Structure 1
Amino acid sequence: MPLATKLWTLVGLSNFNESAPTDNFSILWRLVMISEISPFHILQCICLLWRIWKSINKVTFQLYQPHVRALVIQFYNQVLEVSFFAPSSTPKLLLPFPPSATWEPPPDDYLKIYFDAVVHDSGCSSVLVIRGSDGHEMLAAGMRHRGIVNLYTGELPATRDDITIIASRSLTHMIVEGDLGVVVN
């Protein structure tokens, strides 16, 4: 007996549809499975997937090479943080997204330059922010570039704009930040 048929019978829907699903789940079965999940558990699952994606992004784009054991421990801790499998009777209040890191000001007489980009619909949107040591924004700009379909090349226009601004203002003391380690290096 296929696994889907066993699950179908356990949920009590075998008499609902005379032909229980095969191993490839039917649309009706997917809807039944989704309807059985509470909104709280859906939120927890989304948070868990977001955190896993964040870890994968760190490994892929920031050239972070952790030990396999460290990855397993990190994944296990993320599951515990979300408490998806915790037998708690009172659910924890979770944010829809994990809190982002706080901005740390650069040392005195330094500027901190941050750039980022996102690729969508065969185009790229890039943003760059320059802040002084007291935290005030000296410059913030966003641009849309057409024909860029790769994240690596999507970060490059923001970096090019950083270099242009730095050269035009004769800035020498700066810290460059971005989430793509290859471009920063």
Structure 2
Amino acid sequence: MDQNDLGTDIEKVLVTEAQIKHRLMELASDIDRDYHDREILLVGVLKGAVMVMADLARALHNPVRMDWMAVSSYGSGTKSSGVVRILKDLDTDLKDQHVLIVEDIIDSGLTLSWLLSNLRSRGAASVEVCTLLRKPEALKVDLDVRYVGFDVPNEFVIGYGLDYAEKYRNVPFVATLAPHVYR
């Protein structure tokens, strides 16, 4: 899928496919360096982090294990609902594990704050975060995020795993939608 396939749905491309690939390689290098002597468990947050997790894992040189968790604070709208629900829990026991949460985007930070607390309470040796995107202007809680791909404006974005009403996840770049799409 490319921008031509989307017709008038895209208002503006914020991060290109090439920029994403380059930045994920840089993040993988940092993670390899920081975890060179420890095995890490990548915990992907479904559904949005699928693309980020797959490409990040392939870029890492150290062996990793992977698991998935689905939590939701979004409906079909463009704003967080603030209510966190576990839709799919981890299959892995986190006791003494070095966990790296892989996120697509940090918006208000409320869901991630809850997730960090939840995973730390399970006895993990460490819990850190890697996110492709962060919206600094939208943050409602103070979060220590170790690996950040890009800071983006406080606008609703789609692509590279991010959706609007379950569409646009397979767009290989990050963009804003034209207003006519979600009115």
Whether these two folds match at TM > 0.5 is: no
Looking at secondary structure, tell me which structure has more strand per residue.
Answer: 2
Q: What TM-score do you get using the length of structure 2 for normalisation?
A: 0.31
Looking at secondary structure, tell me which structure has more helix per residue.
Answer: 1
**Higher RCO structure (Cα 8 Å, ≥6 apart):** 2
